[in-house]
Amino acid sequence: MKDFAAIDFETANRHPSSVCSVGIVIVRNGEIAERLYHLIRPAPNYYNPYFTNEIHGLSRADTDNAEHFPQVWAEIVPKISGLPLVAHNSPFDEGCLKAVHEHYEMAYPNYEFHCTCRASRRAFKKLPNHQLHTVSKHCGYELIDHHNAIADAEACAVIALKVFAA
């Protein structure tokens, strides 16, 4: 697989529809072609302090002036059209994407998702764990800003290029 879009969502709280940022790295012909990052006003619009303080550092002050998901997604869709989506722990990201589509009553296309976490378990059996930072480091990418959606999407893209190489 040489053409795909690696995607990562961060959420404001435990609701999967509460996406507050999205990072997308578009890969064409086996090379990173484009990076997209957007803050999103979450739905529901509140932040779990644990998520802010211990995970991604985003707060309501960061997203109060951000667009809602439908506006952000409208900008993204033409860029990822026809591409499979890749995520590390894809059930989380796919669940967020489905939940936010449902929340806004948007039709959900059946996006093709691939999981780099599952694939890395098959490809790299001797790693101590298959967390994003561990696997990306094994693939030559030092993940500096873990839980920043664009950094995580880029790490995922690097992994995908190794584990899904055709």
Coil, strand or helix at 134: helix
Coil, strand or helix at 19: strand
pLDDT score recorded for residue 90? 98
**Mean pLDDT estimate for the chain:** 97
pLDDT score recorded for residue 118? 97
State mean pLDDT over 112-135.
97
State mean pLDDT over 31-54.
97
pLDDT score recorded for residue 20? 98
Q: Is the model's pLDDT at 128 over the cut of 60? A: yes
pLDDT digits (tens, 9 = 90+) for 57-87: 999 999 999 999 999 999 999 999 999 999 9
Q: Please give the Cα distance from 23 to 80 (Å, whole number).
A: 12
Q: Please give the Cα distance from 40 to 125 (Å, whole number).
A: 36
Q: Are 132 and 143 in contact (CB under 8 A)?
A: yes
pLDDT score recorded for residue 166? 52
Strands (E), 17-58: 19-28, 31-39
Q: Is 48 exposed, middle or buried (0-12, 13-18, 19+ CB in 10 A)?
A: middle
Q: Are 106 and 27 in contact (CB under 8 A)?
A: no
State mean pLDDT over 109-126.
96
Domain region containing 79: 4-163
Q: What's the domain count of the chain?
A: 1
| Helical spans, DSSP H, in the chain | 49-50, 60-63, 69-80, 90-103, 116-123, 132-138, 149-163
Dihedral angle sign, alpha carbons of residues 96, 81, 58, 107: negative
Q: What is the DSSP letter of 55?
A: I
State mean pLDDT over 11-40.
98
Please report, rounded to a whole number, the percentage of residues in the chain having pLDDT higher than 90: 98
State mean pLDDT over 126-136.
97
State mean pLDDT over 30-44.
98
CATH of the domain at 63: 3.30.420.10
pLDDT score recorded for residue 8? 98
Coil, strand or helix at 138: helix
pLDDT score recorded for residue 165? 79
